[in-house]
């Protein structure tokens, strides 16, 4: 059964390129991204893992740990990392799970048989410090992920978890946000001292709270 937003993120103990980890213990109080790769030594995955390594300062700034999973072995991962570092001009600086028995892939429903019965699709799970699924994205193996969008989703999740707001279409860090419908008009000035605009009674915006 597929995982839904609000579900508990299943825990697991696995071998990774940075040693054995217990997923929940490894996450600690951080946000987390768990994302899958169809196979080692594949071109799109090579660019994605390289991009993840390059963006580590951005993930760190957001208190977010990234954990990749592929259904290949630890030895294959170690060889592939050398290629990633060479071709993407970076150094892989986050763990990659060795999942040859498909334990994590099955826990997180990452194998979609109608697409490929043997390899994982490009799943992305955003996990909060409370170990619950906050969002997910799924791409076919042929489509590389947009990491600007992944960072944007993290920014939105963290902002909306702290304030009574939502982020509108195409929002990026620093832009105006939408005030939650649950907030009464008379309570807006105290909650949002930067001011607000009423476009429609149900559509009220305010500068980003932080």
CATH number at residue 82: 3.40.30.10
User: Would 154 be classed as within a structural domain?
Assistant: no
Do 136 and 181 belong together in one domain?
A: no
pLDDT of amino acid 141: 81
User: Would 56 be classed as within a structural domain?
Assistant: yes
User: Would 7 be classed as within a structural domain?
Assistant: no
Alpha helices in 62-209 (DSSP H): 74-88, 103-107, 147-162, 188-191
Do 54 and 117 belong together in one domain?
A: yes
- Mean pLDDT calculated for residue range 100-113: 82
CATH value at residue 167: 3.30.1020.10
* Local structure of residue 10 (DSSP, 8 states): P
Do 139 and 170 belong together in one domain?
A: no
Do 135 and 39 belong together in one domain?
A: yes
pLDDT higher at 2 or 54: 54
pLDDT at 123 > cutoff 70: yes
Number of domains in the chain: 2
Residue-range definition of the domain harbouring residue 199: 163-206
Confidence band for 102, pLDDT divided at 50, 70 and 90: confident
Do 113 and 202 belong together in one domain?
A: no
Q: How far is 11 from 68, CA to CA, in rounded Å?
A: 15
Do 138 and 177 belong together in one domain?
A: no
- Mean pLDDT calculated for residue range 5-19: 96
> Which of these, 98, 101, 116, 121, lies nearest to 36 by C-alpha position?
121
Do 178 and 106 belong together in one domain?
A: no
Do 113 and 180 belong together in one domain?
A: no
Cα distances from 50 to residues 54, 88, 123, 154, in angstroms, run: 6, 5, 17, 19
User: What positions carry a catalytic annotation?
Assistant: 45
pTM of the model: 0.93
Do 48 and 136 belong together in one domain?
A: yes
pLDDT in tens, 14-47: 999 999 999 999 999 999 999 988 888 999 999 9
User: Would 1 be classed as within a structural domain?
Assistant: no
Q: How far is 58 from 166, CA to CA, in rounded Å?
A: 22
pLDDT at 118 > cutoff 80: no
Per DSSP, the residues of 158-196 read HHHHHSSEE--TT--TTS-EEEPTTS-GGGHHHH-TT--
User: Would 61 be classed as within a structural domain?
Assistant: yes
State percent of the chain over pLDDT 90. 80
């Amino acid at each position: 059964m597929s995982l839904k937003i609000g579900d508990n993120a299943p825990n697991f103990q696995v071998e990774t390129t940075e040693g054995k980890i217990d997923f929940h213990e490894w996450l600690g109080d951080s946000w987390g991204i768990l994302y899958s790769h169809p196979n080692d030594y594949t071109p799109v995955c090579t660019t994605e893992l390289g991009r993840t390594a390059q963006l580590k300062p951005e993930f760190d700034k957001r208190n977010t740990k990234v954990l990749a999973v592929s259904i290949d072995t630890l030895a294959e991962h170690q060889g592939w990392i050398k290629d990633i570092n060479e071709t993407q001009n970076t150094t892989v600086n986050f763990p990659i799970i060795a999942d040859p028995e498909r334990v994590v892939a099955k826990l997180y429903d990452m194998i979609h048989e109608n697409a490929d019965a043997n390899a994982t699709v490009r799943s992305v799970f955003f996990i909060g410090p409370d170990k619950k699924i906050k969002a997910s994205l799924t791409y076919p193996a042929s489509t590389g992920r947009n990491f600007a969008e992944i960072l944007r989703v993290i920014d939105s999740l963290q902002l909306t978890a702290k304030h009574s707001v939502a982020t509108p279409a195409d929002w990026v860090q620093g832009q105006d946000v939408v005030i939650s419908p649950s907030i009464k008009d008379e309570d807006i000035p105290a909650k949002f001292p930067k001011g607000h605009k009423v476009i429609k009674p149900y559509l009220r915006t305010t500068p980003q709270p932080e």
